[in-house]
Amino acid sequence: MDSQTEKTEQPIFTCKAHVFHIDPKTKRSWMSASSAAVSVSFFYDSSRNLYRIISVEGTKAVINSTITANMTFTKTSQKFGQWSDVRANTVYGLGFASEAELGKFIEKFQEVKEAIQAQQCAATKATNGSGAATPVASATASPLLAARAAADEPPALSPAQPKVENDEMMVHQRAHSVSSSLQGGYATVGRSPRPPATATSATDVDDTQLRYENDRLKLALAQSSANAKKWEVELATLKSNNLRLTAALQESTANVDEWKRQLHQYREEVARARHYATGKGGDANEVEQLRQRVAQLEAELAQKNEELAQITKSKKSEQDAEAKLAQSQLELALAAQDGQRQVLTALNDQLARQIEELSNVHREISTALQT
């Protein structure tokens, strides 16, 4: 592009906004055309008496719209507006950081429309009348644009002079005017396109934070539920072990009672043998046999007493240890379950508060959209 072409089209107004295009498939939702707030400029081509809105991000033209007298810019919310471009076969949307910036853009859009209408009126008069009105004079019908249009008036083009280059090439030459700032992403679906919130919206930040907290609480609740189930299984296992130990203890008690009964029988038999040997007398052989029997019974009695003492001591120690272990495990499981229940209660209360805050934010957003 030569210097002459660059002079014929100059920016007359520049602002910062997030750019959106209507979804060509659904015509009901917005698609983000810029990754951040970019420069959006009104350009006036004095050689062709054209006004255009141009915005470039990197080397990509996100807006290249020639303004016509029939275009209408519609404010759909406090910080969002849109217009339809039939030539580009799309609807452009702009999200601003404040309502004041949107108001400035609307004022400039209306001013440019008035200038275009004045151009058309002057051209009609020139065709039907004396033709005194020149393209430059009609293009600068708006008082605010008059000085800039006069300064931008180019010399007359000769027949051999090349025409202004393609619009896209001129747009790419202005890629240096683009700057990246606030990050954001948008998507809305409904009966008609609705404006997305800008990246600087505090409500959007709060909503994102609440969604993050909600997801974190859901994850913690799921983990707590899994831990609670695990503790329930362990508690059931401990109860089963406790029942098994109780049954073993009862069996050991029955065995001890049986040993005591047999011991009592041995003692009675020994007592009878002694009484028979010392009281009734008898021949030597019989007495000797009785003494041997008494000695044998006494030895067996002593052995049984020793075994009974060992069994009783071992069983008692084992039962005491197992009972203490089962009791401690049961207490630990109950304490853990109680703690888990407290954690779940706290998480549930926190989740309820978060949901209530999110509901309040939703109501505020709905109220703001309705007003």
Going from N- to C-terminal start, the domains of the chain cover 11-122
pTM of the model: 0.38
**Predicted pLDDT at 136:** 40
**Predicted pLDDT at 174:** 44
321-351 as b/e, with b when 16 or more CB fall inside 10 Å?
ebeeebeebbeebeebbeebeebbeebeebb
**Predicted pLDDT at 161:** 33
| Residue of 44, 9, 49, 7 whose CA lies nearest to 133 | 49
Give the class (CATH, top level) of 11-122.
mainly beta
**Predicted pLDDT at 49:** 86
Whole-angstrom distance, CA of residue 369 vs CA of residue 361: 12
- What is the full per-residue pLDDT of the chain (371 aa) written as tens digits? 444 445 567 889 999 999 999 998 888 899 999 999 999 999 999 888 899 999 999 999 999 999 998 999 999 999 999 999 998 899 999 999 999 999 999 999 999 999 999 888 888 888 876 544 444 433 333 434 443 444 343 333 333 333 333 444 444 444 333 333 333 333 333 334 555 544 444 455 556 666 676 777 787 778 777 887 887 888 888 788 878 878 887 887 888 788 788 878 877 877 776 676 666 555 667 767 777 888 888 888 888 888 888 887 877 787 788 788 878 888 887 887 888 788 888 888 888 888 988 888 888 898 888 87
What single-letter DSSP state applies at residue 277? I
**Predicted pLDDT at 61:** 94
**Predicted pLDDT at 8:** 65
**Predicted pLDDT at 53:** 96
Whole-angstrom distance, CA of residue 37 vs CA of residue 97: 9
CA within 13 Å, CB half, 26:
14
Question: Is the Cβ–Cβ distance between 184 and 199 less than 8 Å?
Answer: yes
Where do runs of H (alpha helix) occur along the chain? 3-8, 99-128, 135-139, 143-151, 167-173, 202-275, 284-370
